Amino acid sequence: MRLTQYFLPLIRENPSEAQIVSHRLMLRAGMIRQSSAGIYSWLPLGLRVLKRVEQIVREEQDRSGAQEILMPTIQPAELWRESGRYDDYGKEMLRIKDRHEREMLYGPTNEEQVTTIVRDAIKSYRDLPKNLYHIQWKFRDEVRPRFGVMRGREFLMKDNYSFDLDAAGAKHSYNKMFVAYLRTFARMGLKAIPMRADTGPIGGDLSHEFHILAETGESGVFCDRRWLETELRADEVDYAGDLEAFFRQGTSLYAATDDVHDPTKCPVPADELITARGIEIGQIFHFGAKYSEPLGALVAGPDGEMLPLQMGSYGIGVSRLVGALIEANHDDAGIIWPESVAPFRMGLINLRPSDDKCRTAADDLYAKLRGAGIEVLYDDRDESPGAKFAAMDLIGLPDQLILGPRGLAAGSIEWKNRRSGARQDLPLDDAVQGFADKPLSRTAGEGGAHAAGVGG
């Protein structure tokens, strides 16, 4: 993409309305614009990241055996009356009337909707288990929308719902998501800590929130100090195997949100306990028959008796993750995208577009990089070198290639890695090959350096 053609409205000054770094940088880097409180438009650069995050989430859901569907954003109030949640949900729910005065709502979550779909289709235990997910916009009329996409009113969530015959099956489904979430976040270079959590308006008796530690996190969290050195590796876990051992290992070190943390019962001595802030990027729930019973979602068991489906639900804040990723990956100059979610693999800067030789060489390199399948943002603007360096650092693409008249005369181009700051002159002819070897390697970055907002 040529920057002269791209819609990338950068902002030089820090926007006064933004209190945290990810919000500031998303506005400054032209990723989002606010429409009204907690409601945002996604501009081309921001949308590319959102889609990357969404795709990683999707791939890991698919790998776990969950199947993608798409349910509507607008739901009938009737559905929520059946489960008893219509009145309970309170002011967070946006209630709407259609032209026939029928009560509707903009979905804050989809337990009721999906339960009726499965109820009407599945009658026998033989058709279980099932796990259905969708990636859809939600609306919650939050009291205090803030921090940009971190606490929005309209936000993109991946939510899925598991249906099993019995408690053991439901726990296995829960464990699968426990694994899938760790895999998902690791692919984005994020260290997510699973924490015992309150079940809130979703309900149920077992829940974990996945947090990354960050000073700007909205949640108070407590965990065993050993978590700082512990890396839970879920990439080798076999979904077909017994997942309970992995779940036990992943929950063996204490970690809890402040809603459930009880200092009088905490097993960790005070000097081994960390009090920190966390960004909740996902939450999983097991709630058994809480929705299937009132909604009549029963199946015939092996002996012919009718049994309520045993369910769980699982959410990932897809749009929140974009903000969380920036909280974990930035420096004073701007964003530092992990490769796996970067909007473009690299930036190409032509320092002297008015010079024919530079323009021809940069155009040529741009064509070759694209020909090699590398996504490039090409700064072909007629701007000062300083403005170009600042813009490229701000938007944070993993690598930069910088072409100027001096290097060109020597047949070389400067390569700069955004994260390490390392610079090196490369022979111009080798530049394409050097990156063609890892064109779209969507591997994990090294997030977390800025996210360790750990208090004593």
Q: Are 161 and 115 in contact (CB under 8 A)?
A: yes
> How far apart, in whole angstroms, are the C-alpha atoms of residue 202 and residue 108?
11
Q: Can you tell me which of 8, 20, 157, 190 binds ligand 5CA, judged by CB under 6 A?
A: 157
Would you state the structure tokens that stand for residue 90, as one six-digit string? Answer: 């309170």
Q: By CB under 6 A, tell whether 314 contacts ligand 5CA.
A: yes
Handedness of CA 109, 132, 289, 239 (dihedral sign): negative
Cα–Cα distance list, 76 to 80, 95, 112 (Å): 8, 10, 10
363 part of the interface to ligand 5CA, by CB under 6 A: no
Asked if 232 interacts with ligand 5CA (CB under 6 A), we say no
Residue 36 per-residue DSSP state: E
159 binds ligand 5CA (CB under 6 A): yes
Contacts of 137-141 with C-beta under 8 Å, sequence gap 24+, read 137/73, 138/73, 138/106, 138/107, 138/108, 138/109, 139/73, 139/94, 139/106, 139/107, 139/108, 140/92, 140/93, 140/108, 141/91, 141/92, 141/93, 141/94
- Classify residue 340 by its DSSP letter: G
* 173 binds ligand 5CA, rule: CB under 6 A: no
Amino acid (1-letter code) at residue 347 = G
135 is an interface residue for ligand 5CA by CB under 6 A = no
Out of 34, 61, 109, 216, name the contact with ligand 5CA by CB under 6 A: 109
The least distance separating ligand 5CA from the CB of residue 122, rounded to whole angstroms, comes to 20
Closest CB to ligand 5CA among residues 113, 230: 113
Q: Which stretch binds ligand 5CA (CB under 6 A): 52-60, 241-249, 256-264, 316-324?
A: 316-324
Question: Contact region for ligand 5CA (CB under 6 A) — 216-224, 278-286, 345-353, 400-408?
Answer: 278-286
Piece in contact with ligand 5CA (CB under 6 A), picked from 62-70, 216-224, 227-235, 312-320: 312-320
- From the CB of 131, what's the least distance to ligand 5CA, in Å? 12
Task: Quote the least distance from Cβ 220 to ligand 5CA, whole Å.
Answer: 15
**Whether 3 contacts 379, CB under 8 Å:** yes
The nearest distance, CB 159 to ligand 5CA, in angstroms, is: 3
Per CB under 6 A, residues contacting ligand 5CA are 109, 111, 140, 142, 151-152, 155, 157, 159, 202, 280-283, 285, 313-315, 317, 319-320
